[in-house]
Chains A and B, each alone.
Chain A
Amino acid sequence: MQEPHETPEAQERLGAWLDRYTVTPKADLERLLSNLPPQGAPLRAASRGGRVASGAIWEGLLDLWRPAALAALPVLLGFVLSSALPTENSDSWEASEQWVFAAGGEGYYP
């Protein structure tokens, strides 16, 4: 028994859909030709150093860094706020001296 998507009509429709998925090439031949490395260069080094198109690399890095930056945002905000806002001990002479000591200051401790 033939499934509905296997009929000749369905196969024709599939062909029509596939035909509509067109891709317009954009790669720059001149750029490729003007960036050719010396032929003796190892492939990996040439591919990295003489890279002619880096769009996908940047896209990939952005893909990785965007979520990381978003995840780190609350921590950064918390750090900034905790530094800016006075805490219970922040204005005491003793706390500030301890901080100098801990940060590698003169080592003075009352």
Chain B
Amino acid sequence: MFTEAEEGQRVCQVAQGDRQAFAELAAYYLPKLEQYGTRLSGRPALGEDLAQETLLQLWLEAGRFDPARGRLSTWLYRIARNRFLDQQRQGWRWLGLEFLEGRGGVPDRELEQLSDAREVQQALQRLPERQRSALLLSYYEGLSQKEIAQVLGLGLRAVESLIVRARRALGKTLEEEHARTP
């Protein structure tokens, strides 16, 4: 975890071609961006690509990062989300679930968890993208509502409302799902 000052310093170094500074930032953000991308798209392979391409953009365009407009994390999540939306506009169909394949020999308890994970993943994919992003950034990535507002380019109230609606919709879907399959 970096302080804002440390992050800013490293981004300046990256802009000057410092590979060591980039490696330190990438080591911290690569897994976080991949987790966000995977949950956002429902596809582990796409999550991996989104994370790598986002950091590639950091390497190539670090000079464009403006610390006055927010933290590095919000800039990176914003890039990852925009890339996901670009790919969606290009007509890709992301169905997901392949990460659940090839799970031979998994104990029952883990199988149950995988089943829950699949249900959550499917329910998340049914949410509108903004609600999904707001919930993911809030719940899994630990961003504040102000930071989420910067990622999504929305006001604070809109973000608050998105998170409430996302939780309500997700809860309803999962409760119904579990009521159907005891």
Contact = CB atoms under 8 A, between A and B. Distances in A.
Interface of A: 3-6, 10-11, 13-14, 17-18, 20-23, 25-27, 29, 32-33, 36-37, 39, 41, 43, 46-47, 50, 52-57, 59-60, 63
Given A17-B174, A27-B30, A29-B23, A55 B60 contact: no
18 contacts: A3-B168, A5-B172, A6-B171, A13-B171, A18-B120, A18-B140, A21-B124, A23-B34, A27-B31, A33-B22, A39-B17, A43-B56, A43-B57, A53-B48, A56-B45, A56-B48, A56-B49, A57-B49
A27 B44 CA distance: 10
A22 B27 CA distance: 19
Given A6-B171, A17-B174, A27-B30, 5 more contacts: A5-B174, A21-B116, A32-B52, A33-B19, A36-B59
A43 B44 contact: no
Interface in B21-37: 22-23, 26-27, 30-31, 34-35
A6 B168 CA distance: 7
A94 B117 CA distance: 69
B147 to A, nearest CB: 19
B61 interface: yes
> How would you classify the secondary structure of chain B's contact residues: helix, strand, loop or mixed?
helix
A37 B92 contact: no
A63 B92 contact: yes
Contacts of A54: 49
A38 B3 CA distance: 28
Contacts of B92: 56, 60, 63
B55 to A, nearest CB: 6
Given A21-B116, A32-B30, A27 B48 contact: yes
Contacts of B130: none
B129 interface: no
Contacts of B139: 18
B45 A36 contact: no
A26 B48 contact: yes
A39 B60 contact: yes
A11 B122 CA distance: 18
B119 interface: yes
B45 A55 contact: yes
